[in-house]
Amino acid sequence: MTQMSNDAAPGFMLTENASLLRHNTLRVDARARWLAEITDVAAIPALLEQPALRDTSKLLLGEGSNVLFTGDYDGVIVTLKTRGVEVLPDAGDAARIRVAAGEHWDDFVRWTLAQGYAGLENLILIPGSVGAAPMQNIGAYGVEVGEFIETVEAFDLRERRFVAFSNPECAFGYRDSIFKRHPDRWLITAISVRLPRTHMPRTDYAGLADELKRMGIDKPAPIHVADAVVNLRTRKLPDPAVIGNAGSFFKNPLVATAQVEALRREYPQLPSWPASDGTSKLSAAWLIETIGFKGLREGDAGISNRHALVLVNHGHATGAQLWTLAQRVREGVQTRFGVMLEPEPRVIGAH
Ligand code: FAD
Ligand code: EPU
């Protein structure tokens, strides 16, 4: 293993033949030809001009909580370790905060709550970095981060310059954004959020109001909503510190409402939620549980017995083994329901 840092202009560390084991929460033991860890955004252009990297393929990575490496990566993995939170000039009706991509998302949410800013409480305890949050427009308990993002700052690897995206330019959707549609083009370096001064707690997601009632809270403040979400998430989802996983492995599929009605005739319990343009959202977890795959295990690759949407690594599963199991799940759901599940994490190296 060779390590290099740029003494003339410090701000990054390059490691050759790097282990990715600590860089993905599915705990896949893959390697990268190069790993570039950046501590100063100003160093990005110089880093990318390094002879070893200039013409090498590049993969942008945060904390690896939404990726599956199906094999080694023959290129350079670029990750930001930058820190910093800055309160920007007030917008009157909203606080504006800029935060560096390398911060932990959950630390940032907790910081906003400790400062008395509301809005992000439903998004507490989502693993990963701030820089990845706009990527799939992280969402939980009825809220998506795109509702609060004012600006996304990035380095354009194609044009080799720093750029900024306004909220509409990010094209946020369910687990979707312009960044997700063009992976590895823009290295997100910072985001700015706008947190409204008058804020109504959002407690309509199934189970949230009940959890608050159980906690004895009638009029929830943001911190109570955060505590309730922490309770629900801790109960429902396996902890990556205990068992390797990447959260939901599939998106909840959007299906034509007519097809949902036809399915409901056969499966009266089928959960669904109205979505846009004559479609409904189905619960991928319910589909997977109904075909009997919850808790399934093939070697060390498995489906969580706590949540049917979570692919788990019981120990030493390879990325290829996890991907094989994921495809078996997809085929099972497709055969029984005629619904194609799409992976939610980025699957790297699958053909
Ligand atoms: P990574 O996994 O490193 O990368 C994810 C994607 O973003 C990749 O395509 C990568 O190329 C890209 N990327 C990362 N950083 C940058 C950057 N700076 N610039 C450009 N591209 C970048 N997600 C939800 O939405 N809601 C949830 O409730 C949720 N719960 C989860 C629970 C668990 C237990 C786990 C393990 C995951 C969960 N996730 C959830 C998924 C994950 O937490 C999010 O997708 C998170 O934003 C990923 O952050 P990361 O830094 O680990 O990104
Ligand atoms: N369900 C089952 N079996 C299970 C688990 C759930 O049938 O084992 C059914 C139940 O009917 C339940 C429904 O699925 O009511 C929904 O379950 P849950 O509230 O856990 O939500 P989800 O749709 O499975 C989504 C996100 C999560 C997010 C939660 C809460 C996607 C792909 N996943 O999961 O995000 O935390 O809602 O908002 O949209 C992630 O993206 O990694 C992630 C964890």
Residues 323 and 341 in one domain: yes
C-alpha 214 – ligand 1 centre gap (Å): 31
Confidence of residue 276 (pLDDT cuts 50, 70, 90): confident
Residues 107 and 160 in one domain: yes
- On the CB side of 164, CA atoms within 13 Å amount to 8
Residues 304 and 257 in one domain: yes
> Active site includes 33?
no
Residues 76 and 103 in one domain: no
Residues 26 and 40 in one domain: yes
% of the chain residues with pLDDT over 70: 97
Residues 6+ apart with CB under 8 A from 124: 106, 109, 110, 113, 226, 229, 230, 233
- On the CB side of 310, CA atoms within 13 Å amount to 22
Q: Which residue has the tokens 């990527």?
A: 135
Domain assignment of residue 209, yes or no: no
The residue annotated as part of the active site, out of 248, 272, 280, 304, is 248
* pLDDT given for residue 277 in this prediction: 86
Q: Can you say whether residue 50 is alpha, beta or left, with left for phi > 0 and alpha for psi between -120 and 50 degrees? A: beta
CB 153 within 8 A of CB 188: yes
Domain assignment of residue 214, yes or no: no
Strand 310-313 relative to strand 346-348, pairing: unpaired
Domain assignment of residue 143, yes or no: yes
Question: What is the total count of domains within the chain?
Answer: 3
Listed residues 80, 107, 126: the one ending a domain: 80
Confidence of residue 336 (pLDDT cuts 50, 70, 90): very high
Domain assignment of residue 308, yes or no: yes
Residues 341 and 293 in one domain: yes
Range of the domain at 14: 2-80
Average pLDDT, the chain: 95
Confidence of residue 9 (pLDDT cuts 50, 70, 90): low
Residues 76 and 99 in one domain: no
Query: What predicted TM-score, i.e. pTM, was given to this entire model?
Result: 0.97
Residues 89 and 64 in one domain: no
CA 328, 331, 337, 340 dihedral sign is positive
What CATH number is given to the structural domain containing 50?
A: 3.30.43.10
C-alpha 345 – ligand 2 centre gap (Å): 15
* pLDDT given for residue 351 in this prediction: 65
What CATH number is given to the structural domain containing 121?
A: 3.30.465.10
Domain assignment of residue 331, yes or no: yes
> Active site includes 159?
no
For the segment 249-260, the average pLDDT, to the nearest whole number, is 96
Q: How far apart are CA 242 and CA 193, in angstroms?
A: 32
Instruction: Name 302's bridge partners.
Output: 297, 312
Tens of pLDDT, residues 72-91:
999 999 999 999 999 999 88
Domain assignment of residue 212, yes or no: no
* pLDDT given for residue 6 in this prediction: 46
Listed residues 196, 215, 232: the one ending a domain: 196
> DSSP for 6-31?
-SSS-SEEEEEEEE-GGG-TT----E
Listed residues 31, 60, 80: the one ending a domain: 80
